[in-house]
């Protein structure tokens, strides 16, 4: 009985020691876990604070850069501030030039209209002038004479191949006639007088040729 009691007591002591050891182990594990958690928390806190400092520094630098750019923009705006008086003066000068160009353009248009009106009036007066006398050369009637037989020798004694009688009766001063006609009516265009002068010159040459021809036939 005594031995059994000792054995039981020994068993209880071993169990008590085991419980104590288990408690110590659990306590140490808990403490170690808490320390690890605290360390992890401290590390995370330090990492977060470091990141926050870096973000703050970045934002502060960005803010300073924006302030510097804004200040430079204000200074540039103040330096390049438009001169309202110069702009108003330039606008006034542009308006004066535009008015002058407008008046010059209108003067040109009015002058052109007047020139066209004068040309119309002159054309109407020229159209109402009396017509020129007929061309005497165009009114000459050509007569067809019978052909000469080459076998008849006597037929060559008198030739029939001469110009017909001219329509010019006498020689007059054509230039004097044109000048009188010009004073009597009005000033004709230069083209009409040029054509008339050429026509009169041809008429005079034709008259002289006819007189020389008649003189040659008579001799």
pTM (2 decimals)? 0.29
How much is the pLDDT for 160? Answer: 46
Three-state secondary structure along the chain? CHHHHHHHHHHHHHHHHHHHHHHHHHHHHHHHHHHHHHHHHHHHHHHHHHHHHHHHHHHHHHHHHHHHHHHHHHHHHHHCCCCHHHHHHHHHHHHHHHHHHHHHHHHHHHHHHHHHHHHHHHHHHHHCCCCCCCCCCCCCCCCCCCCCCCCCCHHHCCCCCCCCCCCCCCCCCHHHHHHHHHHHCCCCCHHHHHHHHHHHHHHHHHHHHHHHHHHHHHC
How much is the pLDDT for 39? Answer: 92
Alpha carbon of 139 to those of 160, 195, 201, 208, 209: distances in Å? 21, 18, 18, 18, 18
How much is the pLDDT for 6? Answer: 81
Q: What is Dmax (Cα atoms) for the chain? A: 210
How much is the pLDDT for 192? Answer: 47
How much is the pLDDT for 132? Answer: 61
How much is the pLDDT for 186? Answer: 46
List the chain domain ranges. Answer: 83-127, 172-219
Cβ neighbors of 213 (< 8 A, separation 6 or more) are: 162, 163
How much is the pLDDT for 188? Answer: 46
How many Å apart are CA 208 and CA 171, to the nearest integer?
Answer: 9
Q: Tens digit of pLDDT for each residue in 47-83? A: 999 999 999 999 999 999 988 888 887 777 776 666 6
Spans of the chain, pLDDT less than 70: 1, 79-83, 131-203, 206, 213, 215-219
> Which residue in 205, 203, 181 sits closest to 192, CA to CA?
181
How much is the pLDDT for 136? Answer: 59
HSE-up (13 A, CA, CB side) for residue 216: 10
How much is the pLDDT for 183? Answer: 46
Return the ∠ at Cα 15 (arms to 12 and 18), rounded to 5°: 155
């Amino acid at each position: 009985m005594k031995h059994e009691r000792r054995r039981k007591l020994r068993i209880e002591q071993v169990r008590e020691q085991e419980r104590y050891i288990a408690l110590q182990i659990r306590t140490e594990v808990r403490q170690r876990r808490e320390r690890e958690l605290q360390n992890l928390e401290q590390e995370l806190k330090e990492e977060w604070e470091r990141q926050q400092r870096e973000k703050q520094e970045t934002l502060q630098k960005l803010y300073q850069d924006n302030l510097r750019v804004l200040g430079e923009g204000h200074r540039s705006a103040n330096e390049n501030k438009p001169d309202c008086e110069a702009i108003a003066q330039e606008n006034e000068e542009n308006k004066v030039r535009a008015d002058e160009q407008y008046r010059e353009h209108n003067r040109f248009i009015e002058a052109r209209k007047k020139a066209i009106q004068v040309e119309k009036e002159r054309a109407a007066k020229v159209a109402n002038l009396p017509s020129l006398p007929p061309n005497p050369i165009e009114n000459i009637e050509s007569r067809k004479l019978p052909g000469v037989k080459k076998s008849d020798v006597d037929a060559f004694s008198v030739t029939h191949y001469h110009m017909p009688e001219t329509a010019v009766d006498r020689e007059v001063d054509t230039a004097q006639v044109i000048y009188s006609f010009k004073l009597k009516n009005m000033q004709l265009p230069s083209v009409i007088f040029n054509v008339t002068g050429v026509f009169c010159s041809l008429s005079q040459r034709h008259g002289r040729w006819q007189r020389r021809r008649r003189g040659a036939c008579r001799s």
